Structure 1
Amino acid sequence: MTLIPTRFSGLCALFTALFLSAQLWAATPMIPAPPTLAAKSWLLMDAKTGYIITEYNADQRLAPASLTKMMTTYIASEQLATGNIGYDDMVRISEKAWRKGGSKMYIREGTEVKLEDLLRGVIIQSGNDASIAVAEYIAGSEDAFADLMNQTAYSLGMNNSNFVNATGWPAENHYTTARDLSLLARATINDHPEDYAIYSEKEFTYNNIRQPNRNSLLWQDDSVDGIKTGHTDEAGYCLVASAVKDDMRLISVVMGTRSEKDRAAESQKLITYGFRFYETVKSYDAKQELLASEIWKGDSNSIKLGTEEAIWLTIPRGTADDITADIEVPELLMAPIAAGEKIGTIQLTLNGDTVATKPLIALESVEEGGLFKRLWHWLVLMIKGLFS
C-alpha cells in the first residue's frame, strides 16, 4: 500500500473537488433571464402543461380590444360542439351588425350569411359586424351574449375578466388580463382543434373583398399557427400567439405595445426564448405501471399502481435525466381495492425543486381473498404488530 504525503493528499482532494465542481457546472444548462418587452403586460405558457415560463403584470386588468373575439368564437365552438347550431346555418344580418364601425367583414343588412363564413370573418378579418351577427344568432342579442361570455369566462377560471360586448369595442368595465387570455387560448386549442385550425388561415375573401389575417407572425415564423390580434387607442397593439415545435406548444400573450410591428416582434422574443431554453417532456405514460405494491387479505398478493393521465413536464432543455421520482403509498394496503382508487402520490423533483405531484391510483381491482387467506394474513399482521 502506497502512502501519499499529507500535503500532496490535500492538493489531490482540492483538485478533485474543483474538477467535480467544474463538471457539475458544465452539466447545468445555462438559461438567461427572460426577455423584457416593450409592452404593458405579457405571459408565456406551455400549452400542454399550463406551466408559466415567464410573465409580467399578467394579472393587470387591461382593455383587450379585438382579443375579445377569441371568447366570441370559443362560445360559438362550444355551441357547435353541442349541436345547438351548425356550420351551414344561415344567419340573418341585423342593422346593428351592419352599421358597426371598425374592422369589418362587409356583410349587408337583411342578407343571410353562412355561420362558417361568419366565423372566418371574426377570426381572420376581425370583423366587428360578423362578431355581432354571431352573438345575436347564438343569444338573441349582444347584451345577452355578453352574459354568456362572462359565464364562460368563470367556467374557464378567468377570474379577472369582464365582457360587455362581443367585439372588444371600447367600453367601461370591459377588461381582461394576460393570464386570463392564456387560459382562453389554451381552451380554444385543446377543446376545439377543428375550429382552431381557422386561426392559421392567412386570408379570407367575402363579398369579393379579400382580407389578410392581421397576425403577421403567420408569415414570419412557420411554427406559428394562431391566434388573434387586437388594437384600440386604449389597448394599444396586442397579440395572442401560439406556436408548436415537436412535442412543445407555446402560448404567448403580449398586451399594450406601440405598433403592429412591435406586437409581432415582442411576441417573437417570447416564443424564441421558450423554444430555445425549455422543452416539454413526458415522464410517464397514462396508466403505466410505476409500482407493484404488496396488498393484504386479497385474491392477489400485489397491486399495480400508476397515474390516470400521462405526466408531462416543462423543464429547462437538457435536464430530463436529472428528474427524480419519490413514491409514497400507505405501509399497509388491504383488499378490496377498486381500479382507479387513489392509493398514494408520486412527486417529481428537478434539482431540489418539485416540478409535479400527482395522485397514484390502482391500475387494477383486487378483491378480498378467501376466508383462509384472510385469516392467515390477519394472524401474520397481528404477529408483526407484536414484534414491531
Structure 2
Amino acid sequence: MTPTLLLLVTLAQPEPLPPRMPPDRLDGPPVVSAKAWAVADGRTGAILAAADPPEPLAIASTTKIMTAWLVLKLVAADPKVLDEVVTFSAKAANTGGTSAKIRNGEKVAVRDLLYGLMLPSGNDAARAFAEHFAGRYPADPKADTKADPDPAAPFVAAMNKEAAALKMTSTRYLDPHGLGLNRSTPRDLAALAAEVLRNELFRAVVGTRRHTCTVTAQDGTTRTLVWDNSNRLLGIEGYDGVKTGTTGAAGACLVASGRRDGDHRIVVVLGAPSNEARYVDARNLFRFAWHLPGPP
C-alpha cells in the first residue's frame, strides 16, 4: 500500500466512541430543562432541593405574587379595602403583554381585581393596583422624582422592602407586573410563596380556574369579563396554585403548589425553554418532591 493510500485510509477511520455514562441515579432529581429550580416544604418554606442559578434570573409575571401580597396585607389591616374601587388610568389600561382587558376609565372592586391580576396575569391590573395603593406607602427618599415621576414608584419600593423583610436577598423589583427585568431566584420565590399561601384569600384566588366579574365604565354602563387561570396544573388533582410567567428575557417560569397525603410542596422553575416545558419540569419535580422528607 502506498503512503498516500495509507494516509487516506487512516483519515477515513471514524472517531472512537466516548465511553458510556453511568446509569441514571434513582435517588436524585429528574432532568430539568429550566435554568434553575427549587423544591420547598410548603408549611415552613424550607428548601428541600434546588439547582441554583449563578446569578438572579428574570422572573416575568411571577412578580405578581408580591403585588398581590402587598394588597392582601392592606386587606388584613382593613377588610374594607376589598370593597374599594380601582379606576383604570390610560397608562394602566394600555400596559402591554397579558391583560385583564380593562379599559381606560373603567372601575372594578379590589376583590375582583385580585382575580384579574392572578388568573389572566393582568399586567394592566398590576399597574392599576400599584397606582391605586401607592399613596399608602411613603415615597422612596432616594428616588429622583423629577427624573422618575412614576406614581406607582412608592408601591414598587414597598415590594422591595417586603422582599427584604422576608429575607429574599437575591430579589429586586423594578415594576409591579414583571414586564421589565425584575430578578430573583427559585429559593426566594419559594420562600415568598410559602408565606403568601398562608393567606386564605390568596389560596382561594390562585386556586380558582375561572372568575367572572362586572366592570363599570365612566358613563355608568357595565360589561362582564371572564378570566381563566393561566396555570394549567389546576386541571390536575393535587395542584392548587400559584403563578405562571413568560417573557423573552425570563423564558417560561412557574411557581406551583401541590398537596398530597397531608404533605405540601412548592416547586419553582425559572427559565424553561417553553410554556410546555415548564409544566413537564414542574410535574417531574413534584414526583421527586413527594419522596423527599420534610423538615422536622
Contact 2:89 2:105 in 1 (8 A): yes
User: How far does residue 78 in structure 1 lie from its aligned partner after superposition?
Assistant: 0.6
Alignment-mate amino acid for residue 217 of structure 1: L
The alignment yields a C-alpha RMSD, in angstroms, of 1.7
Asked whether 1:155 is paired with 2:165, we answer: yes
Please list the CA deviations of residues 92-137 of structure 1 after superposition, one character each: whole Å capped at 9, or x if unmatched. Answer: 1111101111111111212221111111000111001111111111
Q: Which one has more relative contact order, counting CA pairs under 8 Å at least 6 apart? A: 2
Asked whether 1:233 is paired with 2:248, we answer: yes
Contact 1:59 1:160 in 2 (8 A): no
Alignment-mate amino acid for residue 216 of structure 1: R
User: How far does residue 209 in structure 1 lie from its aligned partner after superposition?
Assistant: 4.0
User: How far does residue 253 in structure 1 lie from its aligned partner after superposition?
Assistant: 0.3
Cα distance change, pair 98–60 in 1 and its aligned pair in 2 (3 A)? same
1:134-213 equivalence runs, <5 A: 134-140=129-135, 141-171=151-181, 174-190=182-198, 192-206=199-213, 207-213=223-229
1:244 counterpart (247, 256, 259): 259
| Distance in structure 2 (CA, Å) of the matches to 1:88 and 1:203 | 20
Report what 2:275 is aligned to. Answer: 260
1:346-385 equivalence runs, <5 A: none
Cα distance change, pair 181–59 in 1 and its aligned pair in 2 (3 A)? farther
Please list the CA deviations of residues 13-41 of structure 1 after superposition, one character each: whole Å capped at 9, or x if unmatched. Answer: xxxxxxxxxxxxxxxxx961111200100
| Distance in structure 2 (CA, Å) of the matches to 1:43 and 1:92 | 38
1:113 counterpart (108, 115, 118): 108
| Distance in structure 2 (CA, Å) of the matches to 1:43 and 1:239 | 11
Cα distance change, pair 223–237 in 1 and its aligned pair in 2 (3 A)? same
Alignment coverage as a number of residue pairs: 248
Scaled by the length of structure 1, what TM-score is found? 0.61
1:32 counterpart (22, 27, 30): 27
Asked whether 1:66 is paired with 2:61, we answer: yes
User: Gaps spanning 5+ residues in structure 1: where?
Assistant: 1-29, 281-311, 314-388
User: How far does residue 278 in structure 1 lie from its aligned partner after superposition?
Assistant: 2.8
Alignment-mate amino acid for residue 89 of structure 1: E
Cα distance change, pair 95–160 in 1 and its aligned pair in 2 (3 A)? same
The 3-state SS of whatever aligns with 1:60 is coil
Q: Comparing both structures, which one devotes a greater share of its residues to strand?
A: 1
Alignment-mate amino acid for residue 82 of structure 1: A
Contact 1:59 1:178 in 2 (8 A): no
| Distance in structure 1 (CA, Å) of the matches to 2:155 and 2:186 | 22
Percentage of pairs with the same residue:
33
User: Gaps spanning 5+ residues in structure 2: where?
Assistant: 1-24, 136-150, 214-222
Larger radius of gyration: 1
Cα distance change, pair 185–135 in 1 and its aligned pair in 2 (3 A)? same
